[in-house]
Amino acid sequence: MSDDPLITPRAARGRAPDVFHPGAWVPMKEYPQREPVDFVVIGTGAGGGPLIARLAEYGYSVIGFDAGPYFRPLEDFASDEASQSQLFWTDERLVDGANPLKMGANNSGRAVGGSTVHYAMVSLRFRPEWFRSRTLLGYGTDWPLDWREMWRYYAQAEHDLSIAGPVSYPWGPKRPRYPYRAHEINGAAEVLARGAEAMGYKWAETPLATVSAPRGDSPSCVYRGFCRVGCSTNAKQSQLVTYIPRALAAGAEIRDLAMVGRIEVDAAGRACGVHYHRNGAWHFQAARNVIVAGYAIETPRLLLNSATDRFRDGLANSSGLVGRYLMTQSNQAVYGVMDEMVRWNKGPPSLTITEHWNYDDRKDFHGGYCWMAQGPLPVEWSAAMSGSRKLWGAPLREKMADYNHQVGLKMVGEMLPHPDNRVSLANEKDRYGLPVARVTYSWHDNDKAMIQHALGEMQRSLELVGAKDIWRQENDTNHLAGTARMGNDRKSSVVNADCRSWDIPNLWICDGSVFPTTGGVNPSLTITAIALRTADRIQMLQQTGQLNF
């Protein structure tokens, strides 16, 4: 049988890969398909991973499904951008609208562990006011979650992921110290710090999910710099090396290379299992509860593809909001060239940050943004140069030769929710015969105003440190959110604060798609904090007889 993890499932026959030891296995419990398990979780990323682990640790029977392979990072991961695109979701998605999104590397994953296997590890908390942005800041919509409760779950997530961060974080309310010391900063990160200080702004070492000292079987980060195409040493605290091993140890089953194509609903209108494609055939797994954690594209796609006579517009969609209010984050950048050698590819790409404009409200647009230091690898860098500067031919090769002198600042900015930015179904089918997602996106005036503000600020910062040949990358976006927003009532949201769908009481959605607004920081830590809370809520509801299974 092939040992290619992209062809043959590895989690099978009572065992799953031991990601920490080449060739080794850990035992895995397996559940029969016909007997309903307590929970099926679809997706094993920042939302699914912690849920699978915590629910299994509470004693529930849980199966985690992932469409992607079960990688062994120590053996499978090359130091190579091109071949490591094996980590991205590369099945077709159609993009349109005034500002079609670029998908793939930035915002998708197809692996056990989801996109945390290749994310940049940036682990930030929301500004507390963002949970009530309508009431306190006058834009977007309020979340049904209280920031003080989230603060506790952030701390739990930071502990579980051994976040390496500064001794004291300069923005927001007091938080406990980070579990691991901050990483040493590289040349590119130092340029951010000098620029911020010249502007009178605070800066900090970015809290990162890669360990600065050994932790269990994870060695200290060696500053290899290929983080965004997968960590081959297991220093990165992805779901694959944190919650998923915990889940297996607690009795959960993982099914890799298992694409869920449809959620089945019984005559009583309750979810009763999932149809999934694995080993070349469709199968059915019975379940008492179904939790969808496929992120902002696959989650609404699955709900829409699961339509029945009773739920003609898709599951959990009586509000008509499944797929609506898709948000990305603005990810524009300003780059420049320093006289000295910087070698910006050494170490994690975003070692320093300023959240100044997330916490300063003296601006003429809504929402906030941060910016971080940059260190793209050559393929990604050439795509930025050619895509934004329209360079090709000899001028491109000439500019590329400045690679080791480059520095850059890149924003993560809050785009506002709009109903017309959405995921819907296209007529085209994928390799499983399922309609593919159509992703429609247009920037609005507030988004554009924020981008111009940020570009101006980042440019000024680079000018103040003496960078030359400065230019703006105006077109990039990254993380996703929305499409199944949480809220306080069934008319204006898809799920409640517990990530439980209003329409189908045993159907849950727990990933970035529940975000009503997206904030000006990377979303993964917030997704994980919500998942940890959801697991606790499920346990509480079950213990108080409010789940009925």
Partner 1 sequence: MTERNRYPGYDVMAKRHSLSWNDATRKVMDARLGVPREPRFLRQMEWDTLVAICERIIPQPQNRPPIPLAAYIDQKLQNDARNGFRNAALPPQREAWKKGLAAFEAEACLRYEHSFHNLKERQQDELLHRAETGQSDASVWSGMDASLFFSEHVMSDIIAAYYAHPTSWNEIGFGGPAGPRGYVRMQNGRRDPWEPVEAGPGDETRVRRENQRVR
Residue from 99, 116, 186, 501 in contact with partner 1 (CB under 8 A): 186
Is the Cβ of residue 88 or residue 147 nearer to partner 1 in the bound state? 88
Using the rule CB under 8 A, is 403 a contact of partner 1? Answer: yes
End-to-end CA distance of the chain: 39
Using the rule CB under 8 A, is 92 a contact of partner 1? Answer: yes
**3-state secondary structure string, 146-168?**
CHHHHHHHHHHHHHHCCCEECCC
**8-state DSSP, 511:** S
Q: How far is the CB of 429 from partner 1 (least distance, A)?
A: 12
Distance CA 461, CA 458 (A): 5
Using the rule CB under 8 A, is 236 a contact of partner 1? Answer: no
* Residues contacting partner 1: total by CB under 8 A: 69
CA distances from 133 to 142, 354, 453 (A): 6, 21, 20
Q: Which residues contact 275 (CB under 8 A, 6 or more apart)?
A: 260, 261, 262, 263, 264, 282, 283, 284
149: exposed, middle or buried (Cβ count in 10 Å: 0-12, 13-18, 19+): middle
Residue from 404, 424, 539, 542 in contact with partner 1 (CB under 8 A): 404
Residue 328: name the closest of 153, 486, 146, 99 by CA.
Answer: 99
Site map for partner 1, 7-46, x if CB under 8 A? ----------------------------------------
Q: How far is the CB of 88 from partner 1 (least distance, A)?
A: 6
- Site residues (CB under 8 A) for partner 1, limited to 106-125: 108
Residue from 34, 174, 362, 390 in contact with partner 1 (CB under 8 A): 390
Using the rule CB under 8 A, is 89 a contact of partner 1? Answer: yes
Is the Cβ of residue 268 or residue 341 nearer to partner 1 in the bound state? 341
Distance CA 101, CA 478 (A): 8
Q: Are strands 164-165 and 352-354 parallel, antiparallel or unpaired?
A: unpaired
Residue from 307, 396, 464, 470 in contact with partner 1 (CB under 8 A): 396
Is the Cβ of residue 101 or residue 333 nearer to partner 1 in the bound state? 101
Residue from 98, 267, 268, 394 in contact with partner 1 (CB under 8 A): 394
Q: Which residues contact 315 (CB under 8 A, 6 or more apart)?
A: 263, 265, 271, 303, 306, 307, 308, 322, 501, 503, 504, 507
Calculate ∠ Cα 390-396-402, nearest 5°.
120
Is residue 68 within 8 A of residue 413, CB to CB? The reply is: no
Is residue 326 within 8 A of residue 103, CB to CB? The reply is: no
Residue from 13, 134, 397, 429 in contact with partner 1 (CB under 8 A): 397
Is the Cβ of residue 268 or residue 401 nearer to partner 1 in the bound state? 401
Residue from 7, 159, 213, 392 in contact with partner 1 (CB under 8 A): 392
Residue 57: name the closest of 233, 309, 245, 270 by CA.
Answer: 245
Is the Cβ of residue 221 or residue 260 nearer to partner 1 in the bound state? 221
Q: Is the dihedral of CA 55, 56, 62, 68 positive or negative?
A: positive
Using the rule CB under 8 A, is 335 a contact of partner 1? Answer: no
Task: Please report which helix (H) or strand (E) contains residue 264, including its range.
Answer: strand 259-265
Write out the two tokens for 126. 């929301």
CA distances from 340 to 343, 347, 373, 402, 425 (A): 9, 18, 17, 11, 50
Q: How far is the CB of 64 from partner 1 (least distance, A)?
A: 22
Q: What are residue 332's phi and psi, to 5 degrees? A: -70, 160
Using the rule CB under 8 A, is 103 a contact of partner 1? Answer: yes
Q: How far is the CB of 102 from partner 1 (least distance, A)?
A: 6
Residue from 24, 35, 59, 78 in contact with partner 1 (CB under 8 A): 78
Q: How far is the CB of 105 from partner 1 (least distance, A)?
A: 8
Q: How far is the CB of 60 from partner 1 (least distance, A)?
A: 33
- Site residues (CB under 8 A) for partner 1, limited to 348-387: 377-379, 381-383, 386-387
Looking at residue 288, its amino acid is R
Site map for partner 1, 420-459, x if CB under 8 A? ------x-----------xx--------------------
Residue from 222, 308, 419, 429 in contact with partner 1 (CB under 8 A): 222
Is the Cβ of residue 191 or residue 509 nearer to partner 1 in the bound state? 191
Is the Cβ of residue 193 or residue 455 nearer to partner 1 in the bound state? 193
Using the rule CB under 8 A, is 343 a contact of partner 1? Answer: yes
Residues that bind partner 1 (CB under 8 A): 75-83, 85, 88-96, 100-105, 108, 184-187, 190, 221-226, 232-233, 338, 340-343, 345-347, 377-379, 381-383, 386-387, 390, 392-394, 396-398, 400-401, 403-404, 426, 438-439
